[in-house]
Chain A
Amino acid sequence: DGGITQSPKYLFRKEGQNVTLSCEQNLNHDAMYWYRQDPGQGLRLIYYSQIVNDFQKGDIAEGYSVSREKKESFPLTVTSAQKNPTAFYLCATRLAREQYFGPGTRLTVT
C-alpha cells in the first residue's frame, strides 16, 4: 500500500461542481479499481481498469467517470450528476487475486 498515492486526503466541494480524485501507483500493477465506502455498506465498486485505455463500470458507476491514459494513473471524476457524492473513496491495484489499497480520499460535498 505504500506504492499507491491518493490525494488529497480530505476534499471539500460545493454541490454542482465536478471534482477529480487522484490515484497514482508505482507498483507496476496492470489492474486498478475505484471503490466507494459508506458507513455500514462496505466497499462498492465504481469502476475498474485492467489495462491502459480500457475500463469497465462497476455496480455504482452512475455519476462518475474515469480515464486510464497511463498505467500509473487512474483518476476518478465525481460529477454533479452523482446524487450522494459525500463518501470515502478508495483506489486499489491488483496483483493476482490480492488487492492493495491506497490511503483514501474523504470527499465532502455541501
Chain B
Amino acid sequence: GQQVMQIPQYQHVQEGEDFTTYCNSSTTLSNIQWYKQRPGGHPVFLIQLVKSGEVKKQKRLTFQFGEAKKNSSLHITATQTTDVGTYFCAGQDGNQFYFGTGTSLTVIP
C-alpha cells in the first residue's frame, strides 16, 4: 500500500530558531494535507496543497508541495513555545488518507 514517510521523527530547537519537517510519498499524491497535534490532544487541520510546486504561507508557517507531487515540507520561521506538538502530513488516495509518521517538535525557551 501507499507509504508516507516523515523526517525527522523528533526535533528540539531553541525558541527563535527555524524548523522544517519533510514528507515523502512512495506514490504520486492528488493532494497533501498538514495537521498539528498538541501534546495530549488530537490532530487539527492546518492546510491543504493541491497543485504541483504549490507554496502556501500561514504567518510563520510555509508549506510546499513538490513538483512531482510526491513530497512536501513544512517550515516554521522563528519558532515559539506555542509551536510545540507533532506535525503530520497526510496524502489522499480516493477516500483514504495515509498519514506520515509525524515530527515531534520541542521548543526550548
* A residues at B contact (CB < 8 Å): 1, 31, 33, 35, 40-45, 48, 50, 56, 58-59, 90, 97-104
Interface residues of B, dominant DSSP: strand
Interface residues of B in 28-49 (CB under 8 A from A): 31, 33, 35, 41-45, 48
What is the CB-to-nearest-CB distance from A4 to chain B, in angstroms, rounded to a whole number? 9
Q: Which residues of A contact B48 (CB under 8 A)?
A: 97-98
Taking a contact as CB atoms closer than 8 A, the residue among A42, A58, A98, A104 that contacts B96 in the complex is A58
B-side interface residues, number (CB < 8 Å): 24
Given contact pairs A42-B102, A58-B96, a sample of 19 additional A-B residue pairs in the complex whose CB atoms are under 8 Å apart: A1-B42, A1-B44, A31-B95, A33-B97, A40-B9, A42-B4, A43-B43, A48-B96, A90-B42, A90-B43, A97-B48, A98-B33, A98-B48, A99-B43, A99-B45, A99-B90, A102-B42, A103-B41, A103-B42
Residue on B nearest A4 in the bound complex, by CB: B42
- Asked if B100 lies at the interface with its beta carbon under 8 angstroms from chain A, I say yes
Q: Which 7 A-B pairs have the closest CB atoms?
A: A43-B99, A101-B42, A42-B101, A42-B99, A101-B43, A98-B45, A42-B102
Q: Which residues of A contact B102 (CB under 8 A)?
A: 42
* B residues at A contact (CB < 8 Å): 1, 4, 6, 9, 31, 33, 35, 41-45, 48, 88, 90, 92, 95-102
Residue on B nearest A91 in the bound complex, by CB: B42
Q: Are A59 and B1 in contact (CB under 8 A)?
A: yes
